[in-house]
Structure 1
Amino acid sequence: MSNMDWKLLSSEYLFKDDWLTARIDTCQTPGGKVITPYYVLEYRDWVNGVAIREDGMVIMIRQYRQGIGKTLLEIPGGTMDESDPSPLFAMQREMLEETGYEFKDWVSLGKIAPNPASSNNYTHLFLATGGVKVTDQKLDHNEEIEIELISLDELQQLVLENKLEQSLHVTCIFYALLHLKKMKML
């Protein structure tokens, strides 16, 4: 297999903020072709997770998403804070903030690159089981989240009928259902 990695010749930041950083790179391919401008968006890593209570019900959340101008049914998740020591810690923090639940068992389902062509971050995927409500939601100032409980069968049906629109969440749900042996491979 040949090396297809590009060489970074220069990089300049166009915009820097807590939630979004944009840079312009100049790169060179192994064949010598110079690629410029190449825009890259930098984000902190994200986390999301399928949350299952002790009684087997799945905790879903509803919230408005300005990017597409719609309220969506999703799984809990969010951005890793700079102070989070690990993706698992970040996911446990997000679960507690968004749902008020703590979980007995955690399984890492891996990580995926949301858009590796133009973004530098990863999304870390989790399955949390044995959830018990321990507190009220502690939402960020810009969050309005409603909790919705559904069965695992209903969750699988939502995936099969393409009723969930957040692709990173669908990926996590799919991996969780495979892990739980609720989704069959063709």
Structure 2
Amino acid sequence: MAGSTITDSHEEWEVRRTETPFRGKKTSVRTDEVVMPDGSVASRDYQVHPGSVAVLALDDEGRVIVIRQYRHPVREKLWEIPAGLLDVPGENPLHAAQRELYEEAHVKAEDWRVLTDVYTTPGGCDEAVRIFLARGLSEAEGERFEVEDEEADMELARVPVADLVRGVLAGDLHNNCLVVGVLSLVAAEQGDGLDTLRPAEAPWPARPFEA
């Protein structure tokens, strides 16, 4: 797919001082004192995140695999696409996405492409997410992955793309990766086509990896 005429660019302002007042199991909170363009120094708190991958798995009938999972911070059960943290040091994002699709849906895919890359909340978190498009779906071999905690209560469904679009625009569906993934899918289909999307191991500057 051809590149756009407008693009984000890397820039790094001077950090005079940094500290990490909180360290959690997977993420932490950092406080940086950043030099502003006028020379003043401002304090910025943000969550440090390992990054994530998500999978928009599209079957031959034009349906997307979605899961419904409880999310405690927002006190809601949300419909989402399979996703997970890049919490295995050095793991290739594509391999992580394939693992998540297997673990959450017990499905494998023949065709993988990059649908889009996003920062979820760049004003307060450095999380970067790569959303993959997976096609050529089939049932995975072997036993199903043993789930626990919130995942033990997950529901699984296959929903037509048009129904998901209506849900997004009606304000009924709120998960970031589902919203971005579904609307990106429709935009790609109506644009240059899904076969012109970036290859699955396209460079990802936000989370560099070895192919």
TM-score when normalising by structure 1: 0.86
User: Match for residue 169 of structure 2?
Assistant: 160
Unpaired segments of 5 or more residues in structure 1?
A: none
User: Match for residue 39 of structure 2?
Assistant: 32
User: Match for residue 118 of structure 1?
Assistant: 124
- The answer on 1:151 being equivalent to 2:155 is no
- The answer on 1:47 being equivalent to 2:53 is yes
Once the two structures are aligned, what percentage of the paired residues are identical? 26
1:84, 1:131 → 2: CA distance?
A: 27
The structural deviation recorded for 1:31 is 1.3
2:50, 2:186 → 1: CA distance?
A: 27
The structural deviation recorded for 1:95 is 0.6
The structural deviation recorded for 1:59 is 1.0
2:89, 2:11 → 1: CA distance?
A: 35
User: Match for residue 141 of structure 1?
Assistant: 148
SS at match of 1:67: helix
The structural deviation recorded for 1:5 is 4.9
2:83 counterpart (62, 74, 77): 77
2:174, 2:138 → 1: CA distance?
A: 27
- The answer on 1:108 being equivalent to 2:120 is no
Number of paired residues? 179
**Structure 1 residues 4, 124: CA separation in 2 closer, same or farther (over 3 Å shift)?**
closer
2:24 counterpart (3, 6, 17): 17
The structural deviation recorded for 1:160 is 2.8
Q: Is the 8 A contact 1:5 1:30 kept in 2?
A: no
1:68, 1:60 → 2: CA distance?
A: 19
Q: Is the 8 A contact 2:161 2:182 kept in 1?
A: no
Unpaired segments of 5 or more residues in structure 2?
A: 1-9, 192-211
1:179, 1:30 → 2: CA distance?
A: 38
